Structure 1
Amino acid sequence: MTGQFRTIAVLAVAAALVPVPPAAGPDSATAGAAATAPGRGPGVTLPAGALRVGQRVLVGLDGWPAGTVQAEVCGNAARRGALDCATAAATHGQVPPSGRTALPVLLAAPPVACPCVLRVRTPTGTVAATADLTLAGVTAPAVAPAVPAGLTLVAVHADDRSGPRGWFGLPGELAVRITLHNPGAEEVTDPPFELTVGPPGRARTIVAAPTLGGIAAGQTREYHVRVPTGAAPYGRYEVDGRIAVPGRPLAFTVSAARRPWGLPVAAAVLTVGLLLGRRGGRPARRPRRR
């Protein structure tokens, strides 16, 4: 009896020292999935080998948040988002709290040619992942390489339009004609436009530039800008412009001569008038008597 009592006592002490695992609650499965997720994003697994349009395959999802997901076939490697994806034929499914499921997906034809991917995302798009998809039977057209947005300068010209005021060196204006062309595939809408005017190399006076508005893809537009100038003697004026198109800013410089020829003409007329006036004001000489 004494030996059996000692054995029972030792077993009781050992059982008291072994930690008892907590009871599984309703959130224990979610907590376990979250513990395996750090450092790893949502995963998409496709069957190996080439697949065909219209085939139904089982897609494995792992590491996803619980809730609804959407799977869609995309061409052009989904570079343009929904424009490259067969969103109307997308497959929807539910992900359990474990974050892991197998989703049967019907491989629809993408709107553009491959390279193709299977894109899986949550309804809000905050969580998304793609998997390369070797898909046969795609007859969609290829996406033409996009020309980056930008403007080209076709022509620029400036004339002095100061009129009679400019003949005498008074403040006037320059008429600047600018022709722009949009060679890109997208419209350029009202890019920032800056203008400065001044002597060559010192065009620092800011001029209120007009609004360019929208220039559609492939469109050519001409603008007429009146640039005010200050009082100036003989010389040239320079107009510097900068159009801040995203990624491809456009800069140009144009100059025009101001020749206020009315100043020397007026000076010459005044000089002749003074000379004639002085000569006409002298008294006539009397003849000498013998």
Structure 2
Amino acid sequence: MTGQVRAVALLALAVILLPAPEAAPAPGGGPASAAPDDGPGLTSPADGPGVTLPVGALRVGQRVLVGLDGWPAGTVQAEVCGNAARRGALDCAAGAATHGQVPPSGRATLPVRLAAPPVACPCVLRVRTPTGTVAAAADLTLAGVTAPTVAPDVPAELTLVALVADDRSGPRGWFGLPGELTVRITLHNPGSEEVTDPPFQLTVGPPGQARTIVAAPTLGTIPAGQTRDYQVRVSTGAAPFGRYEVEGRIAVPGRPLAFTVQAARRPWGLPVAAAILTALLLLGRPARRSAGRRSATGTGQRSHPARHGEQRSPES
């Protein structure tokens, strides 16, 4: 029994003292866990598709080595962009782009000549696949850029210069019949770009209850810095004394314009007609009474001779 214990102990000691097996070589010939050597002056790649550039200020026309990591295998395009590539290809020197191949490992070093961007910095080096489905960019401190500065994007807008509503119902409106309002609108475009056919909505109704939709006209094109006048006809229903409210909304992208205007409807023809009719009725009543009195007086005069004659007959 003691001999068996000694044998097991010796076997365990032999296993511990055996040399560890070597790691299997990677497909590229180096250890599997080895990371690529970025070289001196290169930044560390970020998570996902990464772009690394030499540290420090660079200049137009300089050739640099750009490190790529985490990219799909295939062709990539590297280009210098100004304006932080906010507008995409419009800000990039696509005509001077550098093309290269990424192996299946997803890692590559691409020699790139730094071209002048079409617009001023802030600059970036943008790398993308031909279809643009995969893209990444790295900040680029680039000297020697002489390009126009891109004006900041200003959203289109319209301002309301004048707004007036008039009741144009005419004689129909005097008597409370369905009529029409004319809304005069003056719009100004203070921006640097023209505004073309923005959606226009109109509703009409009593104050605070303007829910009846009105067919709004097409505004057309309002050039930059120009002012245009519009006259909108709004149909109204039959109404007694009171006010109408017209609400409008012009959906300019980014800065919609809303307005409200009121107009009074006073069908004064109804009370005037009622007053005239009442006056005619009142004037007609005394005339009928006078005619009745004259008729009664004439009948009494004809009866007096008969009564006098009857009283005088005994004397005769």
TM-score by length of 2: 0.75
Q: Deviations over 1:245-288 (max 9, x none)?
A: 33322211111121222222222332233344445555350356
| SS across alignment from 2:47 | coil
Q: Does 1:41 align with 2:63?
A: no
- Distance in 2 of aligned mates of 1:19 and 1:51: 47
Say which of 162, 169, 179 aligns to 1:172: 179
User: How do 1:195-206 residues align onto structure 2 when only pairs under 5 Å count?
Assistant: 195-206=202-213
Q: What is the match of residue 90 of structure 1?
A: 97
Q: Does 1:105 align with 2:88?
A: no
Across the aligned residues of Structure 1 and Structure 2, the Cα RMSD in angstroms comes to 3.3
Regions of 4+ moved over 6 Å: 18-25
Amino acid at match of 1:198: G
TM-score by length of 1: 0.81
Give structure 2 stretches of 5+ with no counterpart: 1-10, 28-33, 36-45, 305-316
Q: What is the match of residue 267 of structure 1?
A: 274
- Distance in 2 of aligned mates of 1:88 and 1:210: 46
- Distance in 1 of aligned mates of 2:159 and 2:188: 5
Aligned identity (percent) is 82
Q: Does 1:50 align with 2:73?
A: no
- Distance in 1 of aligned mates of 2:261 and 2:193: 28
Say which of 133, 157, 161 aligns to 1:154: 161
The answer to whether the 8 Å contact 2:244/2:263 transfers is yes
Give structure 1 stretches of 5+ with no counterpart: 1-9, 26-31, 34-38
| SS across alignment from 1:165 | helix
Q: Does 1:67 align with 2:67?
A: no
- Distance in 2 of aligned mates of 1:274 and 1:81: 85
Q: What is the match of residue 163 of structure 1?
A: 170
| Distance 1:75-1:23 versus aligned 2 partners, 3 A rule | closer
Q: Which has the higher contact order (CA 8 A, sep 6+)?
A: 1
| Distance 1:22-1:180 versus aligned 2 partners, 3 A rule | same
Shift of 1:104: 1.6
Larger Rg: 2
User: How many pairs does the alignment contain?
Assistant: 274
Stretch moving more, 210-219 or 233-242 = 210-219
- Distance in 2 of aligned mates of 1:58 and 1:23: 28
Q: What is the match of residue 258 of structure 2?
A: 251
